Amino acid sequence: MTASTKTIEHALLHWYDVHARDLPWRNPPRRAVPNDPAWPYRVWLSEVMLQQTTVAAVKPYFAKFIETWPTVEALAAADEADVMSAWAGLGYYSRARNLVKCAREVATSGGFPKTEAELRELPGLGPYTAAAIAAIAFDERAVVVDANVERVVSRLFNIEEPLPGARKAIRARAEEITPAKRAGDFAQAMMDLGSSLCTTRDPKCLLCPLAGMCEAKAGGDPARLPVKAPKKPKPERKGRAFWIERDGPDGTEIWLVTRPGTGMLGGMRALPDDGWSAQADGSGMAPFAGAAQTLGAVRHVFTHASLTLEVVRLDAAPGGEGEWWPLQKIEDVGLPTLFAKAARLALAQR
DNA sequence: GAAACGTGGAT
DNA sequence: TATCCAAGTTT
């Protein structure tokens, strides 16, 4: 027994009309404004920030970006280093690099393209984000599938195949239930439902507008879906970072490097280190000769490795690529969280 | 298709 | 404390 797609659409959109979250990038909440030129920019920016990232984490970054760069043209004109700094702490830094690239392409073209297929060509926009922007900003009937939709759909239709294999079946079902009108609201409704009621653990079926048509609920244990493949163990890594000071004209300065544009923490400013990565421990060697003194260690957990980073004070004269940064302004550098922790440790001992 | 790629909050 | 997980994309 499968509920008609019309019933699902009606129940979900009605629920959304009453319960939609009021989020900063919904401007105004729940209704696209096709003629507002700022609308696609806000939708795009929020969607990129929200990739693998919680609403709570995104909110302050979204506010800061909108304040600093109110339009896609403003962002396109920004220095990439400033954008990277502003993104610091949000993670997945290739998003920030692609954000600038994308903004410049869009500004050059005179605005965002309006179709899912064209949006998909822009840097940083994959299948999910292109569909989401097409549906939410441009009212196109695009099928939007994120982790929330996967969860809701796998329960609604009792799809027992484990992820990621189940993606094909899930997409087919999502395709079936996506309406021709209000596809953007439908997508956001699915995501709101997934984040507030149809949650990973302890789903609130008593409050769910789709409970009566949910096959997994009928089966008695919706929380077991979607089934996921077991995860690989996370390796332990060791590395060293080096804290190098000098007395500058306006006070103490710290030696910072900019990491290579690709790879871990790519494009971000950082303390010099011993070459650790998620794949291998660091060499333990300092990049410059000098007296070393261990200050302590910080722990940091990445998606695919856990790192213990020893912080070493080094009395050395650095050379090569890098810059002296005033200690007074160290908070403004925009260090990724790992190196912000290391800097905090070093500062606490001065 | 699998692996790389961050972070902070919840449990 | 350890693990899971969140509005995924790229290579």
Q: Say if A257 falls within a structural domain.
A: yes
3-state helix, strand, coil in chain A (%, to 5): 45, 15, 40
pLDDT tens series, chain A, 350 aa: 456 787 999 999 999 999 999 898 985 544 555 567 788 999 999 999 999 999 999 999 999 999 999 999 999 999 999 999 999 999 999 999 999 999 999 999 999 999 999 999 999 999 999 999 999 999 999 999 999 999 999 999 999 999 999 999 999 999 999 999 999 999 999 999 999 999 999 999 999 999 999 999 999 999 999 999 888 889 999 999 999 999 988 999 999 999 999 999 999 999 999 999 999 999 999 999 999 999 999 999 999 999 999 999 999 999 889 999 999 999 999 999 999 999 999 999 88
Task: Give distance CA A6 / C1' B6 (Å).
Answer: 40
Tell me which protein residue sits closest to nucleotide B1, measuring alpha carbon to C1'.
A164
Domain harbouring A329, CATH code:
3.90.79.10
Quick one: A134 and A215 in the same domain?
A: yes
Q: Say if A231 falls within a structural domain.
A: no
b/e code A310-343 from CB counts within 10 Å (16+ = b): bbbbbebebeeebeebebeebeebbbbebbbbbb
The pair of three-digit structure tokens given for residue A62, joined into one six-digit string: 């979204």
Quick one: A246 and A146 in the same domain?
A: no
Quick one: A167 and A263 in the same domain?
A: no
User: What gap in Å lies between CA A127 and CA A121, rounded to an integer?
Assistant: 10
Q: Give the distance, in angstroms, between the CA of residue A72 and the centroid of all CA atoms in the same chain.
A: 19
DSSP A235: P
Per DSSP, what are the bridge partners of residue A245? A254
The model's pTM is 0.96
Catalytic residue among A47, A150, A253, A310: A47
Of the candidates A170, A189, A224, which is a domain's last residue?
A: A224
Quick one: A242 and A201 in the same domain?
A: no
A53 touches strand B (CB under 7 A): yes
A196 touches strand B (CB under 7 A): no
Quick one: A126 and A201 in the same domain?
A: yes
Quick one: A260 and A212 in the same domain?
A: no
Task: Give distance CA A201 / C1' B11 (Å).
Answer: 10
Quick one: A169 and A193 in the same domain?
A: yes
Quick one: A194 and A244 in the same domain?
A: no
Q: Say if A230 falls within a structural domain.
A: no
| Number of Cβ atoms within 10 Å of the Cβ of A38 | 13
Quick one: A269 and A207 in the same domain?
A: no
Radius of gyration of chain A (CA): 24
Nearest partner of A75 among A63, A89, A65, A61, judged by Cα: A65
Quick one: A93 and A129 in the same domain?
A: yes
Q: Say if A344 falls within a structural domain.
A: yes
Closest nucleotide C1' to the C-alpha of A43: C7
| Contact (Cβ atoms closer than 8 angstroms) between residue A87 and residue A49 | no
A108 touches strand B (CB under 7 A): no
Quick one: A214 and A296 in the same domain?
A: no
The pair of three-digit structure tokens given for residue A289, joined into one six-digit string: 């000769």
Task: For residue A242, give every residue at least 6 positions away whose Cβ sits within 8 Å of its Cβ, in sequence order, or none.
Answer: A255, A271, A272, A273, A274, A286, A287, A288, A292, A311, A312, A313, A314, A316
Quick one: A164 and A200 in the same domain?
A: yes
A59 touches strand B (CB under 7 A): no
Q: Say if A229 falls within a structural domain.
A: no
Of the candidates A201, A224, A247, which is a domain's last residue?
A: A224
Of the candidates A179, A204, A224, which is a domain's last residue?
A: A224
Tell me which protein residue sits closest to nucleotide B2, measuring alpha carbon to C1'.
A164
Pairing type for strands A306-315 and A236-243 reads parallel
Domain that holds residue A335: 236-348
Q: Angle, nearest 10°, between helix axes A38-49 and A94-109?
A: 160
Domain harbouring A138, CATH code:
1.10.340.30
| Number of domains chain A contains | 2
Omega before residue A29 within 30° of 0, cis: no
Q: Say if A311 falls within a structural domain.
A: yes
Pairing type for strands A251-258 and A269-270 reads antiparallel
| Number of Cβ atoms within 10 Å of the Cβ of A269 | 21
Q: Give the distance, in angstroms, between the CA of residue A264 and the centroid of all CA atoms in the same chain.
A: 15
Using a 7 Å cut-off to protein CB atoms, list the covered nucleotides of chain B.
Answer: 1-9, 11
